[in-house]
Amino acid sequence: MKSVKLKGAAETLPIGKILCIGRNYADHIKELGNETPERPVIFMKPASCVIGEGEEIVIPPYSDDCHHEAELAILIGTGGREIPADRALSHVAGYGVAIDLTLRDVQAEQKKKGLPWEIAKGFDTACPLSAFVPAGEVADPQRLRIMLSVNGEPRQDGSTELMIHRIPELISYLSSIFTLEPGDLVLTGTPAGVGRIKSGDGVVAEIPGVGKLSVTVR
Ligand code: MG
């Protein structure tokens, strides 16, 4: 079973469900030519696809176009259902850096056929994840810079200020559909600049004040 580390905590926490938000930054919606959704777009990744610092991404043989998406990850510490937005942040234990790896060619094919995205989003190694910092150490999660580079070349540089659906609203909405449990994660969407990674690449995602995550592609 995969688990997360919260800095300063004695024990690791088993990862529950990984709830991911799609199309949450206008500049990224534009670069993929998608429509802006009225409600958050939700999909899930299984906990089994998480890898940690220094580990290897393995691109499945059925894809030739694996994209990086750097994202702010939220660790739920206190569970709940129908959580009001104004109390949502009190359910957050910590924040981390995630890469929502996406097989863009496979996803496009699934979208065209009206089929689910799991094979494009939930394959083994599809969710590199940093350690988490306690929520109390992050002054304003809605004012964080998100960066990602490939082989030292900057690819993504955005800010959580630019989210369409903000963190309290996301938690509140998700909790109206799924009971949130301690150890659940929320990946909050990616800013513009997504692109292809290939064998041999070194990928570094960083959110200053939260963490840094380095992985390689086998
Ligand atoms: Mg994403």
What count of other Cβ atoms lies within 10 Å of the Cβ of residue 172? 19
Q: What is the CATH number of the domain that holds 199?
A: 3.90.850.10
Residue 163 CA to ligand 1 centre (angstroms)? 12
- At CA 62, angle to CA 59 and CA 68, rounded to 5? 40
pLDDT the model gives residue 50: 98
Question: What is the chain's length?
Answer: 218
Residues of the domain holding 58: 3-217
Rounded Cα–Cα distance for residues 213 and 96 (Å): 9
pLDDT in tens, 120-176: 999 999 999 999 999 999 999 999 999 999 999 999 999 999 999 999 999 999 999
The structural domain count of the chain equals: 1
Tokens 């940690």 belong to 52
Residue 57 has pLDDT above 90, yes or no: yes
Residue 100 CA to ligand 1 centre (angstroms)? 5
- What percent of the chain clears pLDDT 90, i.e. is strictly above it? 95
pLDDT in tens, 95-127: 999 999 999 999 999 999 999 999 999 999 999
Residue 86 has pLDDT above 90, yes or no: yes
Residue 150 CA to ligand 1 centre (angstroms)? 17
pLDDT the model gives residue 197: 98
Residues facing 160 on adjacent strands: none
Residue 1 has pLDDT above 90, yes or no: no
> Mind spelling out the 3-state secondary structure of the chain?
CCEECECCCCCCEECCCEEEEECCEHHHHHHHCCCCCCCCEEEEECHHHEECCCCEECCCCCCCCEEECEEEEEEECCCECCCCHHHHHHHEEEEEEEECCEEHHHHHHHHHHCCCCHHHHCCCCCEEECCEEEHHHCCCCCCCEEEEEECCEEEEEEEHHHECCCHHHHHHHHHCCCCECCCCEEECCCCCCCEEECCCCEEEEEECCCEEEEEEEC
pLDDT the model gives residue 36: 87
Is-contact 65 196, C-beta < 8 A? yes
Question: Which of 94, 98, 182 has the alpha carbon at shortest distance from 141?
Answer: 94
Average model confidence (pLDDT) for the chain? 97
Q: What is the mean pLDDT of residues 169-194?
A: 98
Q: What is the pTM of this model?
A: 0.97
Is-contact 190 204, C-beta < 8 A? no
pLDDT the model gives residue 37: 87
pLDDT the model gives residue 19: 98
- What percent of the chain clears pLDDT 70, i.e. is strictly above it? 100
Residue 10 CA to ligand 1 centre (angstroms)? 30
Residue 64 CA to ligand 1 centre (angstroms)? 18
Residue 16 has pLDDT above 90, yes or no: yes
Q: What is the mean pLDDT of residues 79-94?
A: 98
Residue 1 CA to ligand 1 centre (angstroms)? 23
Q: Does residue 105 come out as left (phi exceeding 0), alpha (psi in the -120 to 50 range) or beta? A: alpha
- Residue 55 vs residue 10, higher pLDDT: 55
Residue 191 CA to ligand 1 centre (angstroms)? 9
Residue 67 CA to ligand 1 centre (angstroms)? 10
Residue 99 CA to ligand 1 centre (angstroms)? 8
